[in-house]
Structure formats: C-alpha cells, structure tokens
Amino acid sequence: MNVSGISNQSLLGKVLRLPLKLIPPTTILPILQGRLKGKRWITGSSQHGCWLGSYEYDKQILFEQTITDGSIVFDLGAHTGFYTLLASTLVGAKGKVFAFEPMPINVKYLKQHLQLNRIANVTVMEAAVSDTTGIAYFELNSSSFQGQLSSKGTLEVATVSLDNLIATGEIPTPNYMKIDVEGAEMKVLTGAKTMLINAHPTIFLATHSVELHQQCINFLTLLGYKIKPVGNKNLEECEEIIAVY
C-alpha cells in the first residue's frame, strides 16, 4: 500500500499523518511491508514512509524487480540507508553493497541501521562521489536529504571518483548503481565514464534540475544506454530514470 503517495495537502493525507507526529524520533519500529518487512528502522532518521514501507514506492518496486541475487550494488547518496538495506536483502549473502554517504548525521544512522539488522554484506564509504578524488566543501541544508557539494559549503568532505577507486582495486565493478546526489549527477557519471563504458551497470538515477536531467540523458545515451522513466510521468517530465545497456 502506497501511503506515501497520498498527498499531505489532502484532508485524508493530513488525517493519516497526524498520529505520526506523536512518535518520538528515537523510536525503533519494524518496516511494515515490502522486501524489507520486519527489518528495524529508526523513525527519526528519515521520512515515516521508510518504516511504513511506502517510501518512493514506484522506484522501490522497480528496484526489487531489477536487482538480482549475488550482484554488486553501489548506493551513491545512501542517506540513512533505506536503499542500502533493500539492496543488501536483494543481493543476498553472495552479493555486496557499497554505500557512499558524506553527511556525518546520515552516516551515523546508516551504520546504526546496519547494526540493528545485523547486515554483513555492506561496506560504508564516508565520501561524496564526484569526478575527482580529494577534498571538497559540502553545503548542509535544513533537510538531511538535501546536502550537496558546493563552494559555499562549510563542511569539508572527502570526494572519490569511481573510476579511480576501481582502478586501484579498492572496490569491484558494480552490476547496479543507485544515484541520488543532489546536483552532482554529471560529476558522478564523468568520474565513472571508463567503468560505464566497460561494465554497463544498470543505473537508477535521480536528477535535480531540468538541465541536469537532459545532460545525464544525453551522456548516457551516447554511451549506448537506453533510458526509461521511473513512475507515471514521461521521460521529459520525470525526475527519476532507469538506464539499461
């Protein structure tokens, strides 16, 4: 059931969300539905849709239908770990997940979720994925979802290029990538171009402006990818795409 899909501007949406405000943010609850049903989640770490099991419902279902057992998955912009946990479950004991996240508060929750659920097939990379390996500034926002690489930022974070990490043997080549990096999409893709050409992983990509959306589609199309929208909107209007080689 897609509870998150009920608008918070509608009367029903407002009524349904009222009790959620009474839940203390440190409360640990079981996830109620989907492949993560029964996994433990800290309610204040993200949206209530995570433990309700309805977070990004269309994308979540597509993720479940696409990721295969024994695969290697990169979660870029892992936030507090919903897709990390989901990927971990889908790839099973023979698979591996690499979760990239630069924000300290998100990394704290991410690691707690892994510990709470005794997850052993995930490696946390405390860095922002970009086109170079080094140090950059990161801009923090009121929402933990919206931090981004920016020259106006006050937080110094490590940056990594996927091509560099793979070339040095620090990480393997992925079969699947989930990318949600709040405006750094092209930096991520540019810094992974060699790997994308050679390995062709399937990509779940969130874009954060009309210009970036088109740039990413053009870049991936030139590499031979076929692009489809996630959800009900057409390719030009959607904010989430899946790229398959």
What confidence tier does 201 reach under pLDDT thresholds 50, 70, 90?
very high
pTM of the model: 0.89
Alpha-carbon distance of 210 to 221, in angstroms, equals: 17
From 15, 131, 38, select the one nearest 85 (Cα to Cα). 38
Q: Is the pLDDT of residue 237 over 80?
A: yes
From 234, 174, 172, 183, select the one nearest 206 (Cα to Cα). 183
| Residue scoring higher pLDDT (194 or 103) | 194
Q: What is residue 28's DSSP assignment? A: E
- Which contacts qualify for 48-52: CB closer than 8 Å, 24 or more apart? 48/17, 48/20, 48/23, 49/3, 49/4, 50/80, 50/82, 52/3, 52/4
The CATH class of the 56-244 domain is: alpha beta
From 47, 59, 75, 58, select the one nearest 144 (Cα to Cα). 47
Spatial contact of 87 and 97, defined as CB atoms under 8 Å apart: yes
Region 225-240: mean pLDDT is 93
Side chain identity, residue 242: I
Alpha-carbon distance of 13 to 70, in angstroms, equals: 39
User: What is the per-residue pLDDT for 4?
Assistant: 59
Spatial contact of 177 and 202, defined as CB atoms under 8 Å apart: yes
User: What is the per-residue pLDDT for 136?
Assistant: 84
